[in-house]
Amino acid sequence: MSIREERKQQSRQAIIDAVLQLSASGRAFSSISLREISRQIGLVPTAFYRHFQDMDALALDLVDQVALHIKGILHQLGQGYLYQPDAQTETALTLFFKSVDQRPQQWIFLIAERWGGSAVLRQAIAREIDFLIEDLANDLQRVESVQHFQHAEDLHVLANILINLSLNWAMNWISLGQQFEAEKLQQQQQHFIQQSITQV
């Protein structure tokens, strides 16, 4: 990659990161303007169009990037939950929540915009969540502990529940960090992990 291409990629990623930061601060994507993004990262507004055709194109790129990251995390969680003995469930959940802590902005964006004001985002996120559910349902077919499920539809329902549960866990975990100071946070997080174990 040439220096010019590398700088272009860095600028493109800076635009994406700026939107994620604004989203994490409570802003809806539909309320964020091109000028606001440009101002935040120090680009002239016209430079935006070197990277994205319009805000809808940016929205789709955001969903692709966020979904790819979350797909990897949920896959790890699924493997830990489905293929490990019960004694390992706490470990799998702890690793999952650590991954949420590492990139909370991506989780906030996906979860908030799932029901947000941008139709483009709602449709793209719904499609990605359907893919996650389908992938997990396929994995479940090879798991001995759910072989008593006789119909593919039943596995799909179970996968749907697990994916949505994971999204709820992530948002609640992030909320803990916003509600409690360091002193009480660790205790609250441990309590939440134990509570989550009972849900699976």
Tell whether 10 is covered by a domain: no
**What tokens appear for 198 in the block?**
């009972």
Does pLDDT of 86 surpass 60?
A: no
Tell whether 190 is covered by a domain: yes
Residue 96 · residue 89 · CB < 8 Å: no
Tell whether 93 is covered by a domain: yes
Whole-prediction pTM: 0.87
Cα separation, 174 vs 140, in Å, equals 28
Tell whether 78 is covered by a domain: yes
* 19-28 contacts at long range (C-beta below 8 A, 24 or more positions apart): 19/58, 19/62, 19/109, 20/62, 20/66, 20/105, 20/106, 20/108, 20/109, 21/105, 23/105, 23/108, 23/109, 23/112, 23/113, 24/104, 24/105, 24/108, 24/109, 28/112, 28/113, 28/116, 28/117, 28/118
Please report, for the domain that includes residue 93, its CATH number. Answer: 1.10.357.10
State the total domains in the chain.
1
Q: How large is the average pLDDT for residues 95-122? A: 94
Q: Residue 197: its pLDDT value, please?
A: 87
Tell whether 2 is covered by a domain: no
Domain holding 171, by residue range, is 55-199
Cα separation, 187 vs 175, in Å, equals 14
Q: Of 80-84, 99-103, 170-174, 188-192, which range is least confident?
A: 80-84
Percent of the chain with pLDDT over 70: 92
Q: Residue 4: its pLDDT value, please?
A: 78
Q: How large is the average pLDDT for residues 115-129? A: 94
Name the more confident of 129 and 47: 129
Q: Residue 3: its pLDDT value, please?
A: 82
Q: How large is the average pLDDT for residues 122-134? A: 96
Tell whether 183 is covered by a domain: yes
DSSP string of 149-198, one letter each residue: --SHHHHHHHHHHHHHHHHHHHHHHHHHHHHS-HHHHHHHHHHHHHHHHH
Q: How large is the average pLDDT for residues 40-62? A: 91
Under the banding of pLDDT at 50, 70 and 90, the label for residue 109 is: very high
Tell whether 132 is covered by a domain: yes
Cα separation, 21 vs 152, in Å, equals 40
Q: Residue 78: its pLDDT value, please?
A: 66
Does pLDDT of 9 surpass 80?
A: yes
Tell whether 76 is covered by a domain: yes
